[in-house]
């Protein structure tokens, strides 16, 4: 990891430590599935505990930075140009249901730009890391977005959340009607991991509206550093200010963003 800055090393060790705690909790969740009360409260506590671990590590080492995270109030640091943007458990619904597709996501923003990002899936031990100007990495290997050129062989990802789709007068089949020509769409429920998968060339594109900075900040840098293109659904805005993201390989982006834009 010496190719990266001290901040990346800090983010990585924080993600690994929080991830270890979450893996232990995930084991408990599987047992609680069958209890009458279910695992809901336990998962909320696990999420909060993971965020406390991350906050201790990240703000402990960089006390002047700001803090913007899913489970606690934002803090503005003495250094107003830098803040951590953190989702301790991205893919909470998956975690709650015992599905092993969730991640710890940490980004560092400097002067309104994301300059470092780490997405860690502790269930597969996959650590995705990107730093501005240094490329994107999965464990020790450099990653790049997909080179697939034919729409028929592409695979896209989004989220099929009932409130997002059905609440707007759309039906559950809408996504497949939007994409009549491609190979498929997956909706696996963790924005940061979906973006990491675009960076690694597994998906050709991902889009989602109505998401928060902590869901996408690290992942969007991964895609950019892996050679992909990222924008908000609404042209001219940044994904973080718009709360929406389209991320894809260079080959997929134009066609993909037209399809998403036409139906969004």
As a whole number of angstroms, the distance between CA 129 and CA 139 comes to: 8
Tokens of residue 160, six digits? 């099929």
Complete DSSP assignment for 95-113: HHTT-S--EEEEEEEETTE
Q: Which stretch binds ligand IPD (CB under 6 A): 9-17, 60-68, 184-192, 196-204?
A: 184-192
Residue 87 contacts ligand IPD per CB under 6 A: yes
Residue 189 contacts ligand IPD per CB under 6 A: yes
Compose the 206-235 pattern: x for residues touching ligand IPD by CB under 6 A, - for all others.
--x--x---x--------------------
* Residue in the block written with tokens 């002067």: 111
Shortest Cβ 53–ligand IPD spacing (Å): 16
DSSP assignment letter at 207: E
Q: Which of 22, 114, 145, 191 binds ligand IPD (CB under 6 A)?
A: 191
Element (H, E) at 40: helix 40-61
**3-class DSSP string for 170-191:** CCCCHHHHHCCCCCEEECCCCH
CA distances (Å), 130 to each of 135, 199, 224, in order?
6, 10, 9
Shortest Cβ 218–ligand IPD spacing (Å): 12
Give the residue with the Cβ less far from ligand IPD, 5 or 101: 101
Q: Which of 146, 159, 182, 257 binds ligand IPD (CB under 6 A)?
A: 159
Residue 204 contacts ligand IPD per CB under 6 A: no
Residues in the interface with ligand IPD (CB under 6 A) total 14
Q: Which of 190, 244, 249, 257 binds ligand IPD (CB under 6 A)?
A: 190
Q: Which stretch binds ligand IPD (CB under 6 A): 107-115, 188-196, 245-253, 255-263?
A: 188-196
As a whole number of angstroms, the distance between CA 251 and CA 264 comes to: 21
Q: Which of 92, 151, 244, 257 binds ligand IPD (CB under 6 A)?
A: 92
β-strand 82-90 against 135-138: which pairing, if any? unpaired
Rg (CA), the chain: 18
Compose the 12-51 pattern: x for residues touching ligand IPD by CB under 6 A, - for all others.
----------------------------------------
Shortest Cβ 1–ligand IPD spacing (Å): 26
Q: CB-based contacts of 8: which residues, under 8 Å, 6+ apart?
A: 1, 116, 118, 129, 131
As a whole number of angstroms, the distance between CA 199 and CA 220 comes to: 9
Shortest Cβ 237–ligand IPD spacing (Å): 18
Residue 249 contacts ligand IPD per CB under 6 A: no
Q: Which residues bind ligand IPD (CB under 6 A)?
A: 70, 87, 89-92, 159, 161, 189-191, 208, 211, 215
């Amino acid at each position: 990891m010496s190719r990266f800055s001290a901040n990346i090393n800090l983010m990585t060790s924080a993600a690994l430590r929080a991830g270890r705690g979450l893996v232990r909790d995930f084991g408990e969740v599987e047992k609680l599935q069958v209890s009458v009360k279910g695992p809901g409260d336990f998962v909320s506590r696990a999420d909060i505990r993971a965020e406390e671990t991350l906050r201790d590590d990240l703000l402990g080492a960089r006390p002047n930075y700001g803090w913007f995270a899913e489970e606690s109030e934002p803090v503005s640091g003495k250094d107003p140009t830098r803040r951590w943007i953190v989702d301790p458990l991205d893919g909470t619904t998956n975690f709650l249901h015992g599905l092993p597709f969730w991640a710890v996501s940490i980004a560092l923003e400097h002067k309104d730009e994301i300059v470092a990002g780490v997405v860690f899936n502790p269930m597969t031990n996959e650590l995705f890391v990107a730093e501005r100007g240094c490329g994107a990495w999965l464990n020790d290997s450099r990653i790049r977005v997909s080179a697939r050129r034919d729409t028929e062989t592409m695979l896209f990802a989004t989220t099929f959340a009932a409130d997002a789709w059905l609440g707007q007068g759309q039906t559950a089949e809408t996504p497949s009607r939007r994409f009549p020509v491609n190979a498929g769409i997956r909706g696996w429920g963790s924005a940061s991991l979906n973006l990491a998968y675009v960076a690694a060339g597994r998906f050709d594109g991902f889009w989602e509206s109505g998401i928060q900075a902590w869901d996408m900040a690290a992942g969007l840098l991964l895609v950019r550093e892996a050679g992909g293109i990222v924008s908000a659904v609404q042209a001219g805005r940044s994904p973080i200010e718009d709360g929406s993201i389209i991320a894809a390989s260079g080959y997929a982006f134009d066609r993909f963003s037209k399809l998403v834009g036409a139906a969004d």
